[in-house]
């Protein structure tokens, strides 16, 4: 065997052995528990709850928009919407670790903002937290923030189409 061929074989064997190493941790968890039927958010209490029928499966502390009191009215107001919505999308490449989208704005939200000559805004998500924001309260632009580890649980548990009720 020539020296070049020997090096090629040894390199290929080394790459194969490296691929057999310990599995890398993933942020995509599996969930095999009861079907999640709704998410409830209590803004004043800063709690997010996940339910299967009438059984609460999980409860998380959370952070909100930088002006959390009241229903989101217009783009940039820093408020988190209130009302009945749905989880309608997910972003595995979120700037905030992982995120799931909330179906804000609905027709009423759009009409309310239009009556003020404004846009209602959008892109409201439940998402993780960048390290520089950890421990700060109410820093988002209207989204709901939890820790990254909690977001991994929520991302796995809550399917698209799940109702979310956001209370004052």
β partners of residue 99: 91, 127
Q: What is the pLDDT of residue 28?
A: 83
Count the domains in the chain.
1
Query: Which residues of the chain have a pLDDT value below 50?
Result: 15-24
From 20, 71, 97, 127, active-site residue = 127
Q: What is the pLDDT of residue 125?
A: 98
Nearest to 62, CA basis, from 87, 37, 83, 80: 80
- Alpha-carbon distance 78 to 66, whole Å? 5
- Alpha-carbon distance 131 to 95, whole Å? 12
Whichever domain contains 119, its CATH number is: 2.40.440.10
Structural domain boundaries, residue 90: 3-167
Is 143 considered catalytic here?
A: yes
Q: What is the pLDDT of residue 130?
A: 80
pTM: 0.82
Q: What is the pLDDT of residue 4?
A: 55
């Amino acid at each position: 065997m020539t020296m070049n061929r020997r090096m090629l074989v040894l390199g290929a064997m080394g790459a194969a052995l490296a691929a057999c190493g310990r599995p890398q941790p993933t942020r995509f968890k599996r969930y095999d528990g009861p079907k999640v039927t709704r998410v409830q958010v209590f803004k004043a209490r800063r709690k997010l709850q996940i339910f299967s029928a009438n059984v609460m499966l999980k409860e998380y502390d959370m952070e909100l928009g930088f002006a959390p009191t009241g229903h989101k009215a217009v783009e940039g107001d820093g408020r988190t919407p209130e009302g009945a919505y749905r989880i309608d999308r997910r972003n595995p490449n979120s700037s905030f670790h992982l995120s799931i989208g909330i179906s804000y704005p609905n027709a009423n939200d759009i009409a309310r903002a239009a009556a003020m000559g404004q846009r209602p805004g959008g892109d409201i998500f439940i998402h993780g937290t960048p390290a520089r924001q950890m421990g700060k309260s109410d820093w988002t632009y209207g989204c709901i923030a939890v820790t990254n580890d909690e977001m991994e649980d929520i991302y796995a548990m809550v399917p698209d189409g799940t109702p979310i009720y956001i209370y004052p």
